[in-house]
Amino acid sequence: MKRPRIVITGIGGLCGLGTDAPAIWDAMRAGRSAIGPLTNGELHELKIRIGAEIKQLPEHGIDRKQLVSMDRFSLLAVIAAKEALRQSGLVVNENNTHRVGTIVGVGVCGWEAIEENYRAILLEGRNRAAIFTVPKVMPGAAAGQVSMNLGLRGPVFGVTSACSSSNHAFATAMDQLLLGRADAIVAGGTDAPLVWGVIKGWEALRVVAPDTCRPFSADRQGLVLGEGAGMVVLETYDHAVARGATILAELAGTGMSGDASDIVAPTVEGPTSAMRACLADAGLAPEDVDYINAHGTGTKANDQIETAAIRRVFGAHADKLSVSSTKSMHAHCLGASGALEMIACVNAVREGIVPPTANYRDADADCDLDVTPNVAKKRDVRVAISNGFAFGGTNAVVAVKAV
List of E strands, 58-213? 100-106, 156-159, 184-191
Interatomic CA distance for residues 155 and 101, integer angstroms: 5
Residues 6+ apart with CB under 8 A from 332: 163, 213, 223, 224, 225, 226, 297
Q: Report helix angle 337-351 to 165-178, nearest 10.
A: 70
Residue in 168, 239, 295, 330 annotated catalytic: 295
Upper half-sphere CA count for residue 217 (Cβ side, 13 Å): 23
Residue in 109, 163, 345, 367 annotated catalytic: 163
Amino acid identity at 319: D
Say what the alpha-carbon torsion angle 242, 102, 352, 2 is, to the nearest 10 degrees: -50
Amino acid identity at 73: F
Residues 6+ apart with CB under 8 A from 26: 18
295 belongs to the catalytic site: yes
Interatomic CA distance for residues 37 and 392, integer angstroms: 30
163 belongs to the catalytic site: yes
287 C-beta neighbours (distance < 10 Å), count: 13
- Evaluate whether 103 touches 185 at the Cβ level (below 8 Å): yes
Instruction: Give φ, ψ of 46 to 5 degrees.
Output: -110, 145
Residue in 168, 239, 330, 332 annotated catalytic: 332
Amino acid identity at 133: T
Question: What would the DSSP string read from start to end of 188-246?
Answer: EEEE---SHHHHHHHHHHT-B-SS---TT-TT---B-BB-EEEEEEEEEHHHHHHTTPP
Interatomic CA distance for residues 317 and 311, integer angstroms: 8
- Evaluate whether 29 touches 376 at the Cβ level (below 8 Å): yes
Burial (0-12, 13-18, 19+ Cβ within 10 Å), 49: middle
400 C-beta neighbours (distance < 10 Å), count: 31
Q: Catalytic residues, which ones? A: 163, 295, 332
